[in-house]
Amino acid sequence: MNYWLIKSDPETYGWNEFVAKGTDMWEGVRNYQARNNLMAMKVGDLALFYHSVINPAVVGIARVVKEHYPDTTTPDTRWVVVDFTVERPLKNAVTLKQIKETPTLANIGLIKQSRLSVMPLTPNEFNAIVQMAE
């Protein structure tokens, strides 16, 4: 199993909207590195759902239920989507400030490549954030 972090501005598409849908495609990615990360995802992989911009924090966990396929929101065939389902909300949101203050997360992509919307996590990074939420 692989672990990921997916970012979205909550005013554009937030956790509550995702929960209301239950399962949805992660579309609109227009960065090659983020696209390649989507293409590397496998069914069953887990992703932390991160609210960016306003009150940046990890708020929930999603699970990959369908591997990459063409993004139908654009005629450009270079872009793909992945389907996620809601796994569960985090008991407490884990803020960007908390992540930055945690030494074991010093090399996390969220800090090193802050603009990347889809990024891999190590199992230790994923587990550390989930434990912080408890």
Going by the DSSP 8-state scheme, the letter that residue 103 receives in this structure is G
Chain segment 43-69, per-residue pLDDT in tens? 999 999 999 988 999 999 999 999 999
What single-letter amino acid sits at 41?
Answer: M
What's the maximum distance between 2 C-alpha atoms anywhere in the chain? Answer: 43
The domain of 42 spans: 3-133
- The span from the CA of 105 to the CA of 36, in Å, is 23
What CATH code is carried by the domain that includes residue 30? 3.10.590.10
Using alpha carbons, select from 74, 84, 69 the residue that is nearest to residue 5.
Answer: 84
In the prediction, which pLDDT does 54 show? 87
Number of domains the chain contains: 1
pTM for the whole structure: 0.96
- Phi, psi dihedral angles at 97 (to 5 degrees): -60, -45
Chain segment 55-106, per-residue pLDDT in tens? 999 999 999 999 999 999 999 999 999 999 999 999 999 999 999 999 999 9
What single-letter amino acid sits at 70?
Answer: P
